[in-house]
């Protein structure tokens, strides 16, 4: 695998465990699985992960920041999600997403995003259902055990681990800012991967 083509070094990806899936695999995710380890855990294809993060960043960068919504019920993603929001201007929903936030104008938390990214399809299903109702694209981090119906862009990744989620939001933030011209093509974020990672 050519190092220079990856968004971060292969070593950084491997250290974060972004490629380590679960023992359960769905038919939806089979095409992203590189192999199954002797302990039964599925291993995701690192190049697919890297490629999909690139696509997700390019896709998100086409939208005004305030039209993007990032949802994460998983606590391990909260720090990364919040920092992504601070640095890009996107709306974020760390914690439980109550149904109707995008569909019921009478709610005081009502928002009208044009694109949604969820860290896990299952705990974030309310956001996925709302997005489908109003017909906006849904991007989702999907582990080997996820279903992918109603998802417009599947980003294969370990969506449970702190380090994996921290690295994902670090890369996504940097790539979105580069695509929007707010960072030079080779410029790095002032924040570190640790700043995006839950303690």
Q: Can you give the pTM of this predicted structure? A: 0.94
Beta bridge partners of 140: 118, 154
Q: 167 pLDDT exceeds 70?
A: yes
* Cα gap 7→10, rounded to integer Å: 9
Looking only at Cα atoms, what is the longest distance across the chain? 52
Mean pLDDT of 46-53: 95
Give the dihedral sign, CA 48/51/53/58. negative
Q: 119 pLDDT exceeds 90?
A: yes
pLDDT at 4: 55
CB 65 within 8 A of CB 112: no
Query: Domain 3-196 - what CATH class?
Result: alpha beta
Mean pLDDT of 78-94: 97
Give the total residue count for the chain: 199
* Cα gap 91→127, rounded to integer Å: 13
pLDDT at 1: 47
* Cα gap 70→85, rounded to integer Å: 8
């Amino acid at each position: 695998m050519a190092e220079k083509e990856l968004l971060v070094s292969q070593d950084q990806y491997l250290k974060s465990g972004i490629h380590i899936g679960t023992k359960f695999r769905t038919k939806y995710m089979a095409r992203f699985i590189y192999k199954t380890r002797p302990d039964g855990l599925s291993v995701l294809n690192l190049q697919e992960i890297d490629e999909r993060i690139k696509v997700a960043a390019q896709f998100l960068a086409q939208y005004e920041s305030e039209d993007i919504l990032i949802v994460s019920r998983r606590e391990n993603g909260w720090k990364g999600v919040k920092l992504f929001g601070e640095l890009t201007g996107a709306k974020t929903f760390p914690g439980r997403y109550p149904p109707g936030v995008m569909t019921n104008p009478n709610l005081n938390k009502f928002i009208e995003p044009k694109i949604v990214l969820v860290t896990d399809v299952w705990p974030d299903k309310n956001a996925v259902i709302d997005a489908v109702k109003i017909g906006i694209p849904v991007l989702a981090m999907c582990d080997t055990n996820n279903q992918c119906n109603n998802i417009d862009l599947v980003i294969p990744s370990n969506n449970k681990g702190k380090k994996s989620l921290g690295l994902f939001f670090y890369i996504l933030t940097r790539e979105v800012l580069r695509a929007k011209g707010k960072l030079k093509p080779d410029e790095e974020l002032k924040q570190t991967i640790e700043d995006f990672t839950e303690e």
